[in-house]
Chains A and B, each alone.
Chain A
Amino acid sequence: DGGITQSPKYLFRKEGQNVTLSCEQNLNHDAMYWYRQDPGQGLRLIYYSQIVNDFQKGDIAEGYSVSREKKESFPLTVTSAQKNPTAFYLCASSIVTGTGWPQHFGDGTRLSIL
């Protein structure tokens, strides 16, 4: 799914620092998602957005923030309030939200604490 680009591939965070993960898509999809992946835990939903200027909390939103100012872009900020940020972060998009629409993923960003 070359239409979803995540950057950077690797990111390191210092104590007390906020970091922002980029996600851009050129698939003209309305819906975008952020997942966190930990070993043996599967994918857990952090935030999702159905349309520009709208976003909703997922199952594990605490310590994270997002914005959706453009249809193509859905950046995720990992704030200092997130005490255990080390994980693999995946961005996805689908034509719309709601059941029945496949989600397509980016290559992910691996975040570690320095």
Chain B
Amino acid sequence: GENVEQHPSTLSVQEGDSAVIKCTYSDSASNYFPWYKQELGKRPQLIIDIRSNVGEKKDQRIAVTLNKTAKHFSLHITETQPEDSAVYFCAASGGLGGSQGNLIFGKGTKLSVKP
């Protein structure tokens, strides 16, 4: 089945700098890759997603890139602000087979933005 690896597990940046979080997946049939932001004690919230027919997607300060050949995708946050501090999760759809397209999550990256 699908396996998703996420790096780094923690990331500390200065306010205004960029942050990059990377994920790799194992199932070449996966074709949907969402990113979630979870603040302490709260629900995960979808911040951006990408499908495999697209290489890059942007939404203001957030962008996601996908390399299908290498089976990895990345979240890029530019001009970071203290309110960007949270845990970020990547996920990949399980493709066909036993997981029936369900999301498989990475273990998360704790991002800290220092003022």
Binds B, one of A16-24, A64-72, A73-81, A100-108: A100-108
Number of residues from A at the complex interface, CB < 8 A:
24
- Contact partner, B105, options A43, A48, A56, A106, Cβ 8 Å: A43
Complex CA–CA separation, A108 to B95 (angstroms): 27
Q: B30 an interface residue at 8 Å Cβ cutoff?
A: yes
Q: A40-B107, A42-B108 are in contact. Are A99 and B101 (CB under 8 A)?
A: yes
Q: B46 an interface residue at 8 Å Cβ cutoff?
A: yes
Q: A58 an interface residue at 8 Å Cβ cutoff?
A: yes
Q: Chain A contacts of B31 at CB under 8 A? A: 99-100
B101 in contact with A103 (CB, 8 Å): no
Number of residues from B at the complex interface, CB < 8 A:
27
A97 in contact with B44 (CB, 8 Å): no
Q: Is the interface of A mostly helix, strand, loop or mixed?
A: loop
Q: A97-B100, A102-B46 are in contact. Are A43 and B32 (CB under 8 A)?
A: no
Q: B93 an interface residue at 8 Å Cβ cutoff?
A: yes
Q: Is the interface of B mostly helix, strand, loop or mixed?
A: loop
Q: A100-B31, A105-B44, A108-B43 are in contact. Are A41 and B103 (CB under 8 A)?
A: no
Chain A's closest residue to B106 (CB) is A42
Q: B14 an interface residue at 8 Å Cβ cutoff?
A: no
Q: Chain A contacts of B30 at CB under 8 A? A: 99
Q: A45 an interface residue at 8 Å Cβ cutoff?
A: yes
Chain A's closest residue to B103 (CB) is A103
Q: B12 an interface residue at 8 Å Cβ cutoff?
A: no
- Give 7 nearest A-B pairs by CB, closest first: A99-B93, A99-B101, A98-B101, A42-B107, A105-B43, A42-B105, A43-B105
9 A-B pairs within 8 Å (CB atoms) are namely A41-B107, A44-B105, A58-B102, A98-B100, A99-B30, A102-B49, A103-B103, A105-B45, A106-B43
Given contacts A40-B107, A100-B31, A105-B36, 16 further A-B contacts (CB under 8 A): A1-B43, A42-B89, A42-B105, A42-B106, A42-B107, A45-B103, A48-B102, A56-B100, A99-B30, A99-B95, A100-B51, A100-B93, A104-B46, A105-B44, A106-B43, A108-B42
